[in-house]
Amino acid sequence: RPRVLSGIQPTSGSFHLGNYLGAVRQWVALQDSHDAFYMVVDLHAITVPQDPKELRAATRLAVAQLLAAGLDPERCTLFVQSHVPEHAQLGWVMNCLTGFGEASRMTQFKDKSAKQGTAGTSVGLFTYPILQIADILLYQADQVPVGEDQRQHVELTRDIAERFNTRFGETFTVPAPYILKETGKIYDLQDPSIKMSKSASSPKGLVNLLDDPKVSAKKIRSAVTDTETVIRFDPEHKPGVSNLLSILSTLTGTKIGELEQGYEGKGYGALKTDLAEVVSEWAAPFRARTQDFLDDTETLDAILAKGAEKARAVAAETLAQAYDKVGFLPAK
């Protein structure tokens, strides 16, 4: 079975609709067709300052949400990044293979560092895509299910994997991004020219899955659309409406064309009301399940211990090969 690897930061608190539709939903589906490795990336979280107590709680909350979304520890390997020290170890090797210029071209870094200012930007934020290279290559992943915003990082991973293989001999699987056209980029409800994001979106533009469903419904009902009245999928001219249609289509499993037909002659209000209801209905059991998993810390931590053990078995083997290839003297 082909292998997939992906991760999510624990720092968002609640996952948002973009995280779920762009990434986590695919993770759930891929458990059955792929050998799947999924992790909560706490090493990435500390690239910006974190309160230690909150980080620990947020890490468990992220795991609980992944389980609530449908990850099954019997069908995938679910773990916390810092429990597998090989990530940081291979990360160093990757740092030494990546050009400063290459890393400087990462648009996410440019955006985030511009917001933080030079003084507030850590070197970790700069090298975070390089740690991500190690995350992926450690598991010899064939595919990386992520949102569109991560495409550039997966492309960099491919370049560095090929560079390593050329320089030191065939070692790493060169991974491909797995990004769905329909949901690879879910847009901000208030500004459909930008992605829905925990840091860039205004509160009204961001639908958090753990929010009170009434709050989310209200946000959806006040989503920005356009001055026409026709419900048509046209991302270029009608980004707001198209975003709502993408979300509704994915959550209900109805083709966009069918939705367009169904809404013929109806106004935007009908589309928004229906979407608000669908999201609320989806989110209510998700919230309840998340709370159930959170309440049972013992089981949750046991899942993570088992996940880390399974992940380490793979990661340690790859790291040993990589260390050997670069010429490190084996420790006796």
Residues annotated as binding site for L-tryptophan?
A: 135
Which of the residues 200 through 229 are near ligand AQP (CB under 6 A)?
A: 200
Please say which residue, 43 or 322, places its beta carbon nearer to ligand AQP.
43
Assess whether 214 carries a catalytic annotation.
Answer: no
Q: Where are the beta strands (DSSP E) in the chain?
A: 3-8, 35-40, 77-80, 143-145, 176-178
Site string for ligand AQP, 119-158 (x = CB under 6 A): ---------------------------xx-xx--------
Residue 86 CB partners (closer than 8 Å, separation 6+): 134, 138, 312, 315, 316, 318, 319
Decide: is 60 part of the binding site for ligand AQP (CB under 6 A).
no
Question: Which of 140, 197, 208, 216 contacts ligand AQP by CB under 6 A?
Answer: 197
Which listed residue (112, 219, 238, 272) is catalytic?
112
CA 107, 185, 8 angle in degrees (round to 5)? 75
Asked if 10 and 45 touch (Cβ cutoff 8 Å), the reply is yes
Q: How many residues does the chain have?
A: 332
Question: Which of 9, 98, 143, 173 contacts ligand AQP by CB under 6 A?
Answer: 9
Asked if 295 and 228 touch (Cβ cutoff 8 Å), the reply is no
Q: What CA–CA distance (Å, rounded) separates 40 from 296? A: 18
CB of 153 to ligand AQP, least distance (A): 9
CA 320, 36, 181 angle in degrees (round to 5)? 120
Which listed residue (185, 195, 219, 272) is catalytic?
195
Decide: is 8 part of the binding site for ligand AQP (CB under 6 A).
yes
| Positions in the binding site for ligand AQP (CB under 6 A) | 8-9, 12, 18-19, 22-23, 146-147, 149-150, 184-186, 195-200
Catalytic positions are 112, 195, 198
